[in-house]
Chains A and B, each alone.
Chain A
Amino acid sequence: MSAPSSTHEQGHRAPASRVALALRARELGIVIALVALVAVTAVVNPRFLSAQSLRDLVLGAAILIVLAVGQTVVIITRNIDLSVGSVLGLSAYAVGSLLQANPGLPIVAAVLVGLAFGAVLGLVNGALVRFGNVPALVVTLGTLYVYRGVAFFWAGGQQINADELPRGFLGFGTATVLGVPWLLVIAVVVVLATGYFLRNQRSGRELYAMGSDPAAARLVGIPVGRRTLAAFTFSGALAGLAGVLFAARFGTIDAAAGNGYELNVVAAAVVGGVAVFGGSGTVYGAAIGALLLTTIGSALPVLGIDQFWQQAIVGALILLAIGTDKAVAARVAARLRKESSRV
């Protein structure tokens, strides 16, 4: 057992850094695209870089970033979570009605409730995938409907308005600390913590192993079922957190909150270089992808391009991103093959 694993390690180390290099270059690509977009837009209209418009931009991006981080963790394990938009809506409504009933509730408690609520919904997804032996695509497509339906039932056509929420909570949606919006601080913390975990923790690395080859991961003793459960719970918890952020940011919450978000979230991850069939990608890439998608949305009107183009551009970006990843992967594979034949 120990002998083969050590040779495996040795044989793997050099190529792994090269793969990491390729991936880093991949993230550099989106950063360049983002910078170019911002630069061009700022030249056309300098007010695009005004504090107010930048703040609106990052507030919008923060929610998508949090969702994209959770999605990335799930996709890395070769699963997918289509229910995030519905989890966001349900937990936003839950937290909203909780605050409506208890205006004195501290914000931290609201955030924790959102996290826990989302975690339970994510746990249901994970349990169905693990114990039901059902593909994640189908399970989360089903819970997308179920959670959304429950939200509609609960809301019963009502919506929670901003004036029914505590002033302090709404302030949290736009408040800043040292000039940086709280929402962005939370998003950045989520990204950095998850990024550190995925890169440096053993269980984080195991998620990549699962995504690369689930059968092999099982054979080397990775508790695949438990990790799957954890990944879905994590994604659910972050979607719940995003629900709290959504409630604080927009104030008005109805049962349709976050409807259709799943597409944007998956798009952000894919544009950010997370491979849909697992095993590669980083939360940093996904976060920049989310930022890029949000920036496109707010740059188009500034550039005088009809807003109707936005979705088409997002679609084209997704195709471009997966095409690029495929080309990069093919080149890396070719180089690895050359490498190993030389040895």
Chain B
Amino acid sequence: MSDLLKRFTGWDVAVIAVLVLFVVVASATVDNFASARNLSFLVLDLAPVLLIALPMTLIIVTGEIDLSVASTLGLSSAVMGALWDGGMSIELIVVVCLVLGAVLGAVNGLFVTVFGLPSLAVTIGTLALYRGLALVVLGDAAVAQFPGTWTGWVIGGNAGIPNIVWPLLLLLVVFGVVLHATPFGRSLFVMGANKEAARFGGIRVARTTFWLYVVCGVVSALAGILWTLRYSSARADNGSGLELAVVAAVLLGGVSIFGGRGTLWGVLGGVTLLAALQNALRLADVSNEALTVVTGLLLIISVLAPNAVGAIRSAASRRRPPGGAATSPAPPDPPAPASSPPVQSDPSSSPAVRSS
């Protein structure tokens, strides 16, 4: 019970509370914010970030990162354009692009697991490589005129609900269940908390990491397809810089960059909060620059605040004498107050993995 309670009093819940508050205030003060038309735009705007944020959350939870996602999106868009220009059928193109995404993800995964290279460096490399290949494929050309039924479906809706909500919801539920309700999901948290322990606990760390990158590649390619269809324009620079927005949204949602901690509903809150902010500021005629500053500040606050709360909480528990041992247990690890929450969640997760 207290475990459940703890689960719902973290930063992720704070983000969702801020989001709700923001939506209420914005609906009341910003004209047209709450209109159905605007909300469907909002959903379309947040779709690519949310899509990529799903596998990105899993990857960051294991303590790795993938900065190549936006380049994968761009390459998939460029290939889509080139193939459509070459006369291939759209159904086949979609399949080719998804397979391409899997391959690009697998390349990342290979470098990270088989060669044992740091994922940050590898994906900075593939960030440049994949975007470069997108430029090679399509240059600075743009391909338009995708079939109207497809582009119409992506931007269309039924009874006020945009069509794109359904695949998003489906993936959200799938990723949510996998991360929070399966032994596999628990094992991701264990990997993030302590890779060595995870390995000794019988988790196939390398294999899991590899497949996470493959999934991330596929989802990024899917985001590329949706992006292309939404704007009906395939360009090599589509989604350029989106990786930073995705990482920012995931961290804003309370996922620890060190791994081992985070929830998907927090990420959903983070992604939606950023998109809603952007949308409301735009409607209120506040310049895009304001949003850049706000995004950056939110990101910094989102990592500072839990640390500050943790420091205050640990200071408070040190002052309170729980059965005599008041001050003695504190000294051993003062340098890392931030890392105590994942350690707390660790013992609860590893038995679950072992028992399965």
Q: Which residues of A contact B (CB under 8 A)?
A: 80, 128, 132-135, 137-139, 141-150, 152-153, 215, 218, 255, 260, 263, 266-267, 270, 276-277, 306, 308-316, 318-319, 322-323, 326
11 extra A-B contacts, CB within 8 A, seeds A146-B297, A312-B132, A315-B132: A135-B258, A141-B299, A143-B296, A145-B248, A145-B295, A146-B292, A150-B293, A270-B121, A311-B131, A319-B122, A326-B115
**Contact A144 B122, beta carbon cutoff 8 Å:** no
Contact across chains for A152 and B287 when beta carbons are under 8 A apart: yes
A-B contact pairs, 5 of them (CB 8 A): A141-B248, A142-B297, A145-B293, A267-B128, A311-B135
**Which A residue sits closest to B301, measured CB to CB?**
A142
Q: Mark B102-120, 1 if CB is under 8 A from A, else 0.
A: 0000000001000111101
Q: How far is the CA of A276 from the CA of B337 in the complex (A)?
A: 25
How distant is the Cα of A148 from the Cα of B116 in the complex, in angstroms?
Answer: 34
Q: Is the CB of A308 within 8 A of B244?
A: no
B residues at A contact (CB < 8 Å): 111, 115-118, 120-122, 124-133, 135-136, 139-140, 236, 241, 244, 247-248, 251, 257-258, 287-297, 299-300, 303-304, 307, 335-338
Closest chain A residue to B125, Cβ basis: A318
What is the bound-complex CA distance between A144 and B111, given in angstroms?
Answer: 28
Kindly state the separation between the CA atoms of A282 and B309 in the bound complex, as whole angstroms. Answer: 39
The docked-state distance in angstroms from the alpha carbon of A3 to that of B66 is 45
User: Are B136 and A134 within 8 A (Cβ)?
Assistant: no
Tell me whether B337 and A133 are in contact (CB under 8 A): yes
Give B133 Cβ to nearest chain A Cβ, in Å: 5
Contact B132 A152 (CB under 8 A): no
Q: Contact: B121 with A152, CB < 8 Å?
A: no
Instruction: Provide the bound-state CA to CA distance between A32 and B319, in Å.
Output: 62
**B257, A137: Cβ atoms under 8 Å?**
yes
Closest B-chain residue to A143, C-beta based? B296
Least CB distance, A79 to chain B, in whole angstroms: 12
Q: Is the CB of A315 within 8 A of B130?
A: yes
Chain A nearest CB, measured from B231 CB (Å): 21
Given A144-B296, A153-B289, A315-B126, A134:B303 Cβ within 8 A? yes
Which DSSP category, helix, strand, loop or mixed, fits chain B's interface? helix
Check if A316 sits within 8 Å of B129, measured CB to CB: yes
**B251 cross-chain contacts in A, Cβ below 8 A:** 138
> Within the complex, which residue of B117, B290, B292 is in contact with A323, where a contact is CB–CB below 8 Å?
B117
Chain A residues with CB under 8 A of B125: 267, 270, 315-316, 318-319, 322
**3 A-B pairs with the lowest CB-CB distances in the bound complex, closest first:** A315-B129, A312-B132, A145-B296
Contact of A315 among B120, B127, B241, B299 (CB under 8 A): B127
Q: How far is the CA of A138 from the CA of B299 in the complex (A)?
A: 7
Contacts of B338 in A (CB 8 A): 133
**Cβ contacts under 8 Å, A267 to chain B:** 124-125, 128
Residue of A nearest to B135 (CB): A308
Residue on A with the closest CB to B248? A141
Contacts of B288 in A (CB 8 A): 152
Distance, CA A215 to CA B335, complexed state (A): 9
Query: Does A149 contact B121, Cβ atoms closer than 8 Å?
Result: no
Q: Which of B125, B135, B244, B287 has the most CB of A within 10 A?
A: B125
Give the complex CA separation of A153 and B293 in angstroms: 9
**Which residues of chain B are within 8 angstroms of A150 by Cβ–Cβ distance?**
293
Q: Is the CB of A308 within 8 A of B120?
A: no
A193 to chain B, nearest CB (A): 27
Residue of B236, B287, B296, B338 contacting most chain A CB atoms (<10 Å): B296
A60 to chain B, nearest CB (A): 18
What's the minimum C-beta distance from A209 to chain B, rounded to whole angstroms? Answer: 16
* C-alpha gap A318/B251 in the complex (Å): 26
Residue pair A132, B307 in contact (C-beta under 8 Å): yes
Which residue in B115, B139, B140, B296 is a CB contact (below 8 Å) of A146? Answer: B296
A143 to B126, CA, bound (A): 24
Residue of B nearest to A154 (CB): B289
Contact B124 A318 (CB under 8 A): yes
| B335 x A218 contact (CB < 8 A) | yes
Known: A138-B300, A146-B292, A306-B136. A319 touches B126 (CB 8 A): yes
Give the chain B neighbours of A145 by CB distance below 8 A: 244, 248, 292-293, 295-296, 299
In Å, the complex CA distance between A341 and B19 comes to: 59
CA gap between A189 and B259 in the complex, in Å: 41
The distance in angstroms between the C-alpha atoms of A312 and B14, with both chains bound, is 41
CA–CA, A340 and B162, complex, Å: 66
Residues of A close to B293: CB separation below 8 A: 145-146, 149-150, 153
Chain A's nearest CB lies how many Å from the CB of B105?
15
Q: Which residue of A lies closest to B140 (CB)?
A: A308
Which residues of chain B are within 8 angstroms of A146 by Cβ–Cβ distance? 292-293, 296-297, 300
B residues in contact with A319, CB < 8 Å:
111, 122, 125-126, 129
| Chain B residues closer than 8 Å to A312, beta-carbon distance | 128-129, 131-133, 135-136
CA distance A326 to B120 in the complex (A): 14
Query: Cα distance A128–B307 when bound, in Å?
Result: 12
Complex Cα–Cα for A124 and B117 (A): 31
Instruction: Please judge, given known A-B contacts A138-B299, A308-B132, A316-B129, whether A277 and B124 are in contact too, CB under 8 Å.
Output: no
| Nearest CB on B from A123, distance (A) | 15
| Bound-complex Cα distance A145 to B124 (A) | 18
Q: For B128, give the chain A residue with the smallest CB separation.
A: A315
Do B304 and A134 touch across chains, with their CB atoms under 8 A apart? yes
Least distance between A332 CB and chain B CB atoms (Å): 15
Given contacts A142-B300, A323-B115, A326-B115, contact A318 B292 (CB under 8 A): no
B327 to chain A, nearest CB (A): 22
A199 to chain B, nearest CB (A): 24
Closest chain A residue to B256, Cβ basis: A135
B121 contacts A133, C-beta separation under 8 Å? no
Expressed in whole angstroms, the Cα–Cα distance for A141 and B299 within the complex equals 8
A135 touches B257 (CB 8 A): yes
